[in-house]
Structure 1
Amino acid sequence: MPDRDTSRVVFRKSTHSDGGEGCVEAATLNGSRLVRDSKDPGGPTLAFGPSAWAVFVEEIKQGKFNLD
Protein backbone atom coordinates (compact mmCIF):
# COMPACT_ATOMS: atom_id res chain seq x y z
CA MET A 1 0.00 0.00 0.00
CA PRO A 2 1.45 3.41 -0.84
CA ASP A 3 2.38 5.92 1.85
CA ARG A 4 -0.60 7.56 3.46
CA ASP A 5 -0.69 11.04 4.94
CA THR A 6 -2.53 10.48 8.21
CA SER A 7 -1.86 13.97 9.61
CA ARG A 8 -5.47 15.06 8.99
CA VAL A 9 -7.11 11.77 9.86
CA VAL A 10 -9.18 11.70 13.05
CA PHE A 11 -8.44 8.54 15.02
CA ARG A 12 -10.81 7.46 17.76
CA LYS A 13 -10.80 4.93 20.58
CA SER A 14 -13.57 2.46 21.19
CA THR A 15 -16.15 3.48 23.76
CA HIS A 16 -15.37 0.11 25.34
CA SER A 17 -11.81 1.21 26.19
CA ASP A 18 -12.92 2.92 29.42
CA GLY A 19 -10.19 5.53 28.92
CA GLY A 20 -7.46 2.93 29.26
CA GLU A 21 -4.00 3.63 27.95
CA GLY A 22 -3.39 0.29 26.22
CA CYS A 23 -5.91 0.76 23.42
CA VAL A 24 -5.98 0.84 19.68
CA GLU A 25 -7.39 3.74 17.72
CA ALA A 26 -9.21 3.46 14.39
CA ALA A 27 -9.89 5.84 11.51
CA THR A 28 -11.06 5.77 7.89
CA LEU A 29 -9.04 7.07 4.94
CA ASN A 30 -10.03 6.63 1.29
CA GLY A 31 -12.21 3.62 2.13
CA SER A 32 -9.52 1.86 4.16
CA ARG A 33 -9.71 1.33 7.91
CA LEU A 34 -6.59 2.43 9.76
CA VAL A 35 -5.53 1.11 13.16
CA ARG A 36 -2.73 2.33 15.41
CA ASP A 37 -1.50 1.99 19.00
CA SER A 38 -2.87 4.82 21.16
CA LYS A 39 0.39 4.92 23.14
CA ASP A 40 2.39 5.56 19.94
CA PRO A 41 0.29 7.77 17.65
CA GLY A 42 3.31 8.61 15.49
CA GLY A 43 4.23 4.95 15.09
CA PRO A 44 3.15 2.42 12.50
CA THR A 45 -0.42 2.27 11.21
CA LEU A 46 -2.11 -0.86 9.87
CA ALA A 47 -4.48 -0.44 6.92
CA PHE A 48 -7.33 -2.83 6.09
CA GLY A 49 -9.41 -2.78 2.93
CA PRO A 50 -13.20 -2.90 3.40
CA SER A 51 -13.60 -6.66 3.00
CA ALA A 52 -10.60 -7.52 5.19
CA TRP A 53 -11.91 -5.14 7.87
CA ALA A 54 -15.35 -6.78 7.77
CA VAL A 55 -13.81 -10.23 8.24
CA PHE A 56 -11.59 -8.96 11.07
CA VAL A 57 -14.53 -7.37 12.94
CA GLU A 58 -16.65 -10.50 12.52
CA GLU A 59 -13.86 -12.69 13.90
CA ILE A 60 -13.53 -10.36 16.90
CA LYS A 61 -17.26 -10.70 17.55
CA GLN A 62 -16.91 -14.49 17.37
CA GLY A 63 -14.18 -14.39 20.03
CA LYS A 64 -11.43 -15.68 17.75
CA PHE A 65 -8.82 -13.38 19.29
CA ASN A 66 -9.80 -13.73 22.98
CA LEU A 67 -6.75 -14.31 25.14
CA ASP A 68 -8.63 -16.01 28.00
Structure 2
Amino acid sequence: MAKVPAVARAKGLTVPEGTEEKLMKQCTDVKEGLPGSMMFDCLAGRPMEVEVRMYAIIKALDWKNAHRE
Protein backbone atom coordinates (compact mmCIF):
# COMPACT_ATOMS: atom_id res chain seq x y z
CA MET A 1 0.00 0.00 0.00
CA ALA A 2 2.95 2.31 0.58
CA LYS A 3 3.65 2.19 -3.14
CA VAL A 4 0.39 3.90 -4.09
CA PRO A 5 1.18 7.31 -2.56
CA ALA A 6 4.88 6.92 -3.44
CA VAL A 7 4.11 6.39 -7.12
CA ALA A 8 1.61 9.25 -7.12
CA ARG A 9 4.18 11.57 -5.57
CA ALA A 10 6.84 10.40 -8.04
CA LYS A 11 4.44 11.36 -10.83
CA GLY A 12 4.18 14.85 -9.35
CA LEU A 13 0.76 14.47 -7.75
CA THR A 14 -0.06 15.96 -4.38
CA VAL A 15 -0.90 13.25 -1.88
CA PRO A 16 -2.15 14.36 1.54
CA GLU A 17 -0.24 13.15 4.58
CA GLY A 18 -1.85 10.09 6.11
CA THR A 19 -3.08 8.72 2.79
CA GLU A 20 -1.26 5.40 3.22
CA GLU A 21 -2.72 4.90 6.69
CA LYS A 22 -6.21 5.86 5.46
CA LEU A 23 -6.03 3.35 2.61
CA MET A 24 -4.79 0.60 4.92
CA LYS A 25 -7.59 1.31 7.39
CA GLN A 26 -10.19 1.12 4.62
CA CYS A 27 -8.85 -2.28 3.60
CA THR A 28 -8.52 -3.72 7.09
CA ASP A 29 -11.87 -2.43 8.34
CA VAL A 30 -13.75 -4.63 5.85
CA LYS A 31 -14.87 -7.70 7.76
CA GLU A 32 -15.69 -9.98 4.83
CA GLY A 33 -12.70 -9.07 2.67
CA LEU A 34 -12.59 -6.92 -0.42
CA PRO A 35 -14.27 -8.12 -3.59
CA GLY A 36 -12.18 -8.17 -6.74
CA SER A 37 -12.26 -5.37 -9.28
CA MET A 38 -14.42 -7.47 -11.60
CA MET A 39 -17.04 -7.75 -8.85
CA PHE A 40 -17.05 -3.97 -8.45
CA ASP A 41 -17.47 -3.62 -12.23
CA CYS A 42 -20.27 -6.18 -12.29
CA LEU A 43 -22.16 -4.57 -9.42
CA ALA A 44 -21.80 -1.14 -11.05
CA GLY A 45 -23.02 -2.45 -14.41
CA ARG A 46 -19.67 -1.71 -16.10
CA PRO A 47 -17.94 -3.94 -18.66
CA MET A 48 -15.70 -6.52 -17.01
CA GLU A 49 -12.16 -7.57 -17.93
CA VAL A 50 -13.23 -11.01 -19.12
CA GLU A 51 -10.96 -11.16 -22.18
CA VAL A 52 -7.90 -10.04 -20.22
CA ARG A 53 -8.49 -12.57 -17.45
CA MET A 54 -9.24 -15.44 -19.83
CA TYR A 55 -6.16 -14.64 -21.90
CA ALA A 56 -3.95 -14.66 -18.81
CA ILE A 57 -5.36 -18.01 -17.65
CA ILE A 58 -5.00 -19.62 -21.06
CA LYS A 59 -1.44 -18.27 -21.49
CA ALA A 60 -0.47 -19.69 -18.10
CA LEU A 61 -1.83 -23.10 -19.06
CA ASP A 62 -0.06 -22.90 -22.42
CA TRP A 63 3.24 -22.03 -20.68
CA LYS A 64 2.78 -24.92 -18.26
CA ASN A 65 2.24 -27.33 -21.16
CA ALA A 66 5.35 -26.03 -22.93
CA HIS A 67 7.51 -26.31 -19.78
CA ARG A 68 6.67 -29.71 -18.39
CA GLU A 69 10.16 -30.23 -16.99
State the TM bucket, normalised to the shorter chain: under 0.3
With normalisation by structure 2, the TM-score equals 0.26
Identify, as 1 or 2, the structure richer in helix. 2
Identify, as 1 or 2, the structure richer in strand. 1
With normalisation by structure 1, the TM-score equals 0.26
Greater relative contact order (Cα 8 A, min sep 6): structure 1 or 2?
Answer: 1
